[in-house]
Amino acid sequence: MECITLDNGLRICLDSRPYLRSCSLGLYVGSGSRFETPQTLGVSHCIEHMLFKGTDTLSARDIAEITDDTGGTLNAYTTKEYTCIYARVLTAQIRTILSLIAEMTLHPALREDELQTEKDVILEEKDSYEDSSEDLCMDCFYESFWPQDMLGKNIVGSEETIRAMTKETIRRHMEQFYVPERMVLVFSGAFDRDSVLQQCRAHFGALRAANNPLRAASPQPERFIRLIPKEVQQTILTLGLPGLPIDDPRMHACSYACSILGGAGSSRLFQRIREELGLVYSIDAFHAAYLGAGALCVSMGLSAQKQQTALREVVRLCREFPQTLTQKELDRAKMQAVAAVSMSLESPGSSASRIGRNMLLRGKVQSEEELLQNLQDVTLDEVRAVAAQLLQTERFSLCVVGRPDTQQTYRDILDAG
């Protein structure tokens, strides 16, 4: 993988796979809900939508037809820390799709009628998330976990901020965040190196830096119990603890701890809570890593009558986990991780995503060989140490969506942990 930085700070990452007939490419922009304000919450996500609604010279229909004419795909998504516009096309169509992405991001029309229409679409999207108990529980967990930081806010925004969004709000945000020092262009697949670099310079080389590098403070998490009544059949519980930031060198050890605890079919939580006790349909342990912050979570869905029993058992398993980890469990987790990474690296889309995220957020990208070797090098002592540091069950926070019990009931169970 080769990375070239233009004079204005924009980085271009080239992952050549000449044996393919197509190329996956993406533009990663350091614009997400974390970098907004309470007044502009949701603007990054709104921009993602508006990029497809037309440019100074193209209509929304033109964008769709040009994309379809290439035979490829073009889409986008927004996270808490970045926005990605990505595509996959045959090698011969790279010039067309790259020109289209450049036109969309550098010259969006932001027509008033299109903005008003898209607000309704975004509100429908917001409603769909809130209809999902799992999505609602995670959003509310983050909001209470980092209440003093925009990292805890919902990516889509609130109805008030969405309704209040204007062209001027969008343009000001893009002038500040759609700048070369917060941009990474990635190409993974078959492409002509010189031609791609020439096109990148032609489209983005004149873009002026704004002295706004990607950085974020480390927010302090708060402990809480939050209960959200909702008329549903399954009650969702999300437990969480402070985790590791994205650039922490112990991240692989943390990933193994999560996998062994509740990230696979052979994991302890799945085998005990679902298979042996039959208390849940689904249960999962995962780690979410961000700049300067992270959260280790356990999420499960179950009937309200079973939640006390399940919660006590989860807390017990987490409490006992660090000192009872075995080499056999770690070896199994390593095999799962190495296989998953190896197979994902065979996909140019997955490879482009890995490169883009890491270059934007961490400023570097491990080679595939180094990544696989680092996964193999993690020791049992390292996994036990990071698990002992993170799984301090007396610090558990909890969000419940569905048919919650009382605050005191949950507090008694968690404090006993």
Q: Write out the catalytic residue numbers.
A: 48
CA distances from 80 to 10, 174, 184, 315 (A): 21, 16, 17, 29
DSSP letters for 16-85: E-TT-SEEEEEEEES-SGGGS-TTTTTHHHHHHHHGGGBBSS-BHHHHHHHHHHHTSEEEEEE-SS-EEE
Task: Kindly state the tokens that stand for 349.
Answer: 């889309």
Task: Kindly state the tokens that stand for 113.
Answer: 């009628």
Please give the Cα distance from 120 to 101 (Å, whole number).
24
235-242: strand order across its sheet: 225-229, 397-402, 235-242, 293-302, 282-290
Please give the Cα distance from 276 to 263 (Å, whole number).
17
Tell me 273's DSSP state.
Answer: I
217: left (phi over 0), alpha (psi -120 to 50) or beta: beta
Tell me how many degrees the CA angle 267-313-265 measures, rounded to the nearest 5: 15
Q: Are 390 and 242 in contact (CB under 8 A)?
A: yes
> What SS3 state is found at 88?
strand
Q: Are 262 and 387 in contact (CB under 8 A)?
A: no
Task: Kindly state the tokens that stand for 330.
Answer: 């770690």
Cα-to-chain-centroid distance, residue 121: 22
Phi then psi for 306, rounded to 5 degrees?
-100, -5
Please give the Cα distance from 121 to 358 (Å, whole number).
31
How crowded is the C-beta side of 173, counted as CA atoms within 13 Å? 29
Pairing between β-strand 83-90 and β-strand 22-29 as defined by DSSP bridges: antiparallel
Element at 241 (helix H, strand E)? strand 235-242
Strand partners, 184: 11, 28
